[in-house]
Amino acid sequence: MFSTGVPTPPLFVSDGDAQLLTKAAELADTSAGFTAPHPNSACLLFNGNDIVGRGVLYGQGTTSAEVQACRSAGERANGCTAYLNLEPGDCHGDDSAIYALKQAGVSRVVVGIPHPLQHFRGKAIKELRKANIVVDVLGENLPKNTSTEQALKACHYVNAPLLYRSSLRCPMSTLKYAMTLDGKIAASTGHAAWVSSKASRQRVFATRGRSDAIIVGGNTVRRDNPKLTTRQEGGHLPARIVMSRCMHLPEDAHLWDVSSTPTIVMTQRGARKDFQQRLEKKGVEIVEFDFLTPKAVMEYCYDRGFLSVLWECGGTLAAPALTSGVIHKVIAFVAPKIIGGTTAPSPVGDMGMVEMTQALNLADVSFEKIGPDMLITGYLQPIPDLRLQVPDGLDELSATEAASFEEKPTIICFYKAWDAMGAFSNFSPHAIDIGNSEGGAVQWTSVEHYYQAQKFTGVQDTLALNHIEQIQSAESPEEAARIGRTLAKQRPDLVRSDWEGVKLEVMYTGLRAKFSKSGWRRS
């Protein structure tokens, strides 16, 4: 257990506490699919026998769960207990979540897990204890029983992608497939529509919505011509990644339509440059590797900030992904059908194993009946538990971080609001006021809201005006970005003619408005 330097009373979490922490974890999961994967946090305020306030982080750059809960509780928050599935992670320079709990008069805080990211871990707990608020952390010198273990499992599960990323320096990777009872993912002709039931396919759409990206191989593109969408109106749309060393891909494919959802083709350096250029003209992003491997792709996805990746590839790509150790979880839909065929493809290709003792075993396996199908879920690598015994006075480190202290990069990364320098991000939850032509000011929820709307400012078109209003009222910066980027791709004629020349100045205007608003941002 890491030391906060502040004496604390004996720790005790009751069965009732554990049940409320489990409820907080369940609440934290409710934004999944509506926004891109992010640290999932929720706050429940309990006073007497009632929940008097609740809040959930909707998306990156939105108001923290703690602030929402304290606002909803009002005066009833005084003297209450706050249940947080995740330690607050205020990366915005204002410690708003901690401040809200202190100002509301919360007397006790029960935390499910310390924050997985090192630049947050233990800091909120320390600050709350300094304010004489009793803080109990599940799993730290607390009695173990069924209810506390279930609560801890729920808190780990809801932030599994963040735990994998911080511990293994890799996005959480899930391999998904559907097969018949005799282990086939298609007939010997390649026909595969449909192996599983409609109910199972609906679950797949929901799973896609929880992912930053979906990965397929060239064989899947050639054979199935998939769209890889979530089939939902609005909400988060994961990037679609195609892995192909040789770029022997069809000229026309659903994935080359990037009007609403981005596509990234990852390939070997120099492969079919002419075809790469044709794809780039359609808006497809090309990423070249010296040697394309599942591990290299996952390292790239980590650098890009992804938390969760879904592999929907065939057996040829699934095999090296499994043997390279980048797959953490498997979800398999088994349909009560038998198709046969000695050449019919199976979910996983040759992995070089010749004895059953070499087989990969899943842990924490669960079974769920979905329509006529059976869904089997299990983990090849358990969800990391980042608690680590370290000397007093040191922050808690993940196993990876403790093993090797890497030199800090010379480039400061701040795209994600939860990054160490998240206050610099366009997506940080700081409203800005921008003067208008009438001498007044317009308030924008974030810099990203303002930036996206300016693409269409001055364009005399009803659709452009409607989208400016949608951007301004978007619940999260990411939703504002999705609306603006989608319209710009679908209707480039609605983007103001001088945009390429003024967009940097627009960005500077937004950033100046944010960092000049108060002292802490200037610092």
Active-site positions? Answer: 66
Euclidean distance between CA atoms 388 and 363, whole angstroms: 22
SS3 259: coil
179 φ, ψ (degrees, to nearest 5) = -140, 160
Cβ proximity of 280 and 286 under 8 Å: yes
- CB neighbour burial string for 434-472, b if at least 16 within 10 angstroms, e if fewer: beeeeeeeeebbbbbbbbbbbbbeebeeeebeebbebbb
Using CA atoms, how far residue 326 sits from 203, 212, 295, 446, 469, in Å, is: 23, 16, 6, 35, 42
Euclidean distance between CA atoms 143 and 401, whole angstroms: 28
440 CA to centre of own chain: 38
CA-based end-to-end distance of the chain: 32
Euclidean distance between CA atoms 133 and 138, whole angstroms: 16
Euclidean distance between CA atoms 392 and 358, whole angstroms: 42
Token reading at 165? 């990323």
Token reading at 347? 């979910």
Question: What residue type is assigned to position 82 of the chain?
Answer: A
Provide DSSP, 456-506.
TTT---HHHHHHHHHHHH-SSHHHHHHHHHHHHHH-GGGS-TTHHHHHHHH
Using CA atoms, how far residue 427 sits from 149, 474, 487, in Å, is: 35, 12, 19
Angle between helix 447-454 and 477-490 (nearest 10): 10
Cβ proximity of 257 and 276 under 8 Å: no
Residue in 377, 227, 228, 429 with CA at minimum distance from that of residue 311: 228
Euclidean distance between CA atoms 12 and 7, whole angstroms: 15
| Order of strands, sheet of 42-47, starting from the edge strand that comes earlier in the sequence | 50-56, 42-47, 81-86, 108-113, 134-137
Write out the H or E segment, with its range, that includes residue 155.
helix 146-158
Rounded (5°) CA angle 467-471-494: 35
The residues, any chain, with a CB within 8 Å of residue 68's CB and separated by 6 or more, are 43, 53, 54, 55, 56
